Chains A and B, each alone.
Chain A
Amino acid sequence: MILGVIVNPVAGVGGPAGLKGTDGEEILNRALQAGVSPKAGERAVRALSQLANEANLEIVTGPGPLGADAAALAGLDDAHVQVLPLEPTGSGRDTISLAKQMAEQGVDLILFVGGDGTARDVAAGIEDTSTPILGVPAGVKMYSGCFGLSPESAGQMSLHPPHRTRVVEILDVDEEQVRTGRVDPKLFALAEVPDDSAKLQRRKVATVASDRDAVEAVARGLVEQMQPGVTYLVGPGGTTATVLDRLGLRGTPLGVDAVRDGAIVARDVSQDQALDLVRTAPGPAKAIIGVIGGQGFVLGRGNQQLSADVVNALADSDPQGGFPLLVGATQSKLLDLLGKPLLVDTGDPLTDRKLAGPIRVQIGPGNIAMYTLASAERM
């Protein structure tokens, strides 16, 4: 087992200082001036302590505070720790560079210590190598589905090469917006994580089936709903990516693709292109969308291409007047909302209100949740 370890030494610094995150040098300096001491190192040691005394483990990590220090403090044997050469810049570029080197070395898993910003950088570094990653929760924002429940459980999950993985969404919010009171998570990447949901965060729901199987079931349910001659705008996200997988298509996981009769008719379309597609489609058109992030947004977060105009065009395209959206979500994603409604924010309150009400959410083949969709302006 070869384990990559990356510590973002300044992760989480902005939280205690009330700065909603630590992205950007200026914020980091303000936090340090406020007397906040970095906690990431300590959480890294807690995670790595779980690995001490493990015989068949090789560690690949960054120099000093980027990993080597924590490995030494956790009592890991020097002989099994390889420190990668790196000239630290003190920014996210360090994480990207380390992740890239580790992916090239073919590590079994990258264990990183940080938050959503660090997760984005790790995902950027590994590119399309499908290297599994796992986060030790140490950031301020942790909307992504890649974090262990605690440093200890993340450490334990790193003991063995993952024998099953699943795809999660790497989300991040614009901290400037959060600081002004607005939470708007964007989807930045899809990444593979060990499929041990009992120890992963967001697992508020105990289900016998794994999350990966649950997402598969949602995708099968959505595919079952698809009809010949209908043009489908397939939104971004892990669930919709699985829909395309099932259809044997390769789309744009972070963008909107158009599918008709089992084939892709347009890739990664903009709002205007989507509008054009719907208006010129030979038959009705609908959008297939998942629920992005933990707040229950169906439209308006991460899929702004599906604007109010596009949604209205979808509605107009169906002579039967059917609901313009095919929405899919795992049951645990709905239950995580703890009774709060799904949300829509197309930017046009009138469109939002038209969509609002109890809607059908596909949670599996032949398995539908009747769940309330509400306009975000009312929340």
Chain B
Amino acid sequence: MSDPKLPVAPKPAVRRFHQARWDEPIIFELDTPGERGVLPPATEVGVTAAVGDAVSDLPSSLRRTAPLNLPRVAQPRVLRHYLRLSQENLGADLNVDVGQGTCTMKYAPKVNDQLVANPNLRDIHPLQGEESVQGALEIIWLAEQALREVSGMDRVSMASTGGSSAIWTNIAMIRKYHESRGEGEQRDEVITTIFSHPSNAAAAAVAGYKVITIYPDADGYPDLDALKAAVSERTAAIMVTNPEDTGIYNPDIAEWVDVAHSVGALASYDQANANGILGITRARDAGFDVCHFNFHKTFGTPHGSGGPGGGATGAAKHMVPFLPGPIVDRVGDEFVVSPGGKESIGYVSPFYGVVPVIAKAYAWIAALGGAGLRAVAETAVLNNNYLMKKILEIPGATAPYAEGRRRIEQVRYSWEDLYKDTGISSEEIGVRASDFGVHYWTSHHPYVVPQPFTLEPTESYSRAELDEYAAILAHVADEARNSPEIIKTAPHNQTVHQTGYSDLDDPERWAITWRMYQKKYPEAQEG
């Protein structure tokens, strides 16, 4: 019971937060001669006599002439080092991570980490004979069956190591398809939309295509007339994301596919934003020839940087021969591996793709079942439209393009009105939001929506957490009007204060490696 005589501080409107700062050196700077993590005992004489020194059997080309220059640090110090670094980090499991729209920062169940840590999966080697890894092959095969069902496609390859890797696989297959028909040189253009993921334009460019980007029509939807004007016998493919990064679902998507097919081009579906359509609509049903998934965005595996990534490419029947290897087939009760179809693009990654990620994705899908997947999408869409209502109640926040319409699983909002009133930019709001312990993301570059911010609540957050996130943004928007200095001097509660942006614009000042930093900024090392 609290003492009624003691004054009680009023509960703040938003959470008070402060990031830890340890000023921790990098691990190499902790090198201390004489320290060790583990000091193994010297090999007994009898052992050496029996098996030799274990090194001289190696060919001399494989032997080091000098020992590895690793830091010498005691084990408890190593533990403290990494715990401190982890405290200087605003991790996905720590914050209400709805502020990184299009990243689909959903909960990655920990039980699946335990599952893939099982030695039966963890300790196998990709060079083992097929007969000794039947269980792992079965998981790959089962995951493919699930993704076939989700996409409607005839076969699905999981050899890609991430979303963009899978998009690359899509365009590589498309290129091979046209080459196989003698139209490889003629078809040198790929069409995408400005609100599709930039990975599509990038993958097409890397594959040697000219990229044509369609801008929205007057109503904010992908411009079908512009597509019709853009396609020709030179078009190799359309590569589009749907729903787009605005959260707007292209209502004419089937017609887009038809327009592409009418000139002999193929249609590739970027399903990075599939979280809002699981069990509701399928790539094949709109007529797409190939599609991709990000395991980490849609199927509950940790993101790249939070764990290895993984991607899948789905192919309609006529595209199956071009799929990358390996292909896992079930023959009777056995699982057998083949290097892909007769016109396969070859391998896009070594061995089988990222098997632990495939296993986690399959576990996630199997735990939910078909009805569960649809519930994921419905909850994600409900959460998004709930959050949109809360955000649009904040003076200065808008959702440009197709205004007034509901969105699927994310929204690209704009602070342009707030910026005009206060001069506070979206980047500054994001920096200030970090003072309350949450992530915030603007948009891909270039900014098409002015002063953008992109929120995607997914199915993982409770109503109370969405309310908290909206309250933080409302609080910061209020500060922009009433105490802008707090925002201009933010962050106040973060590990790092005030970074200079102008350096980001100037390649001559970039230092993207430690060595480059030492070379370009020798003065920084002296302090």
Contact = CB atoms under 8 A, between A and B. Distances in A.
Interface stretch (A89-97, A347-355, A365-373): A365-373
A370 B226 contact: yes
A152 B227 CA distance: 45
Contacts of A207: 445-446
A106 B218 CA distance: 50
Given A196-B502, A360-B212, A366-B210, A208 B218 contact: no
Given A207-B445, A338-B450, A358-B230, A196 B213 contact: no
A198 B502 contact: yes
Interface residues of B, number: 34
B490 interface: no
A331 B216 contact: no
Contacts of A331: 446
Contact of A210 (B212, B220, B448, B506): B506
A201 interface: no
Contact of B213 (A199, A368, A372): A368
A262 B504 CA distance: 37
B209 A366 contact: yes
Interface string A39-67: 00000000000000000000000000000
B28 to A, nearest CB: 30
Contact of A366 (B205, B223, B230, B442): B205
Contacts of B505: 196-198, 208, 210
Contacts of A332: 446
A205 B425 CA distance: 12
B99 to A, nearest CB: 18
Nearest to A213: B507
B501 A369 contact: no
Contacts of A204: 447, 450
A357 interface: yes
Contacts of A379: none
A357 B447 contact: no
Nearest to B215: A371
B488 to A, nearest CB: 12
Nearest to B501: A198
A332 to B, nearest CB: 6
B85 interface: no
A358 B210 contact: no
Nearest to A337: B215
A358 B223 contact: yes
A204 B416 CA distance: 10
B187 to A, nearest CB: 14
A332 B213 CA distance: 14
B319 to A, nearest CB: 25
A164 B229 contact: no
Contacts of B445: 206-208
Contacts of A335: 446-448
A222 B505 CA distance: 25
Given A198-B502, A366-B210, A339 B446 contact: no
A123 interface: no
Interface string A162-199: 01100000000000000000000000000000001111
A208 B220 CA distance: 26
A372 B223 contact: yes
Contacts of B218: 339
Interface in B354-387: none
A160 to B, nearest CB: 11
A363 B215 CA distance: 13
Contacts of A334: 215
Contacts of B446: 205-207, 331-332, 335
Interface in A29-88: none
A207 to B, nearest CB: 5
B214 interface: yes
Contacts of B201: 367
B230 A370 contact: yes
Interface of B: 191, 194, 201, 205, 209-216, 218, 220, 223, 225-227, 229-230, 401, 427, 442, 445-448, 450, 501-502, 504-506, 508
21 contacts: A196-B502, A198-B502, A199-B502, A204-B447, A204-B450, A206-B427, A206-B442, A208-B504, A334-B215, A338-B450, A339-B215, A357-B229, A358-B226, A360-B230, A366-B211, A369-B194, A370-B191, A370-B214, A370-B227, A371-B215, A371-B226
Given A367-B210, A370-B226, 7 more contacts: A164-B508, A198-B502, A204-B447, A358-B226, A367-B201, A370-B227, A372-B226
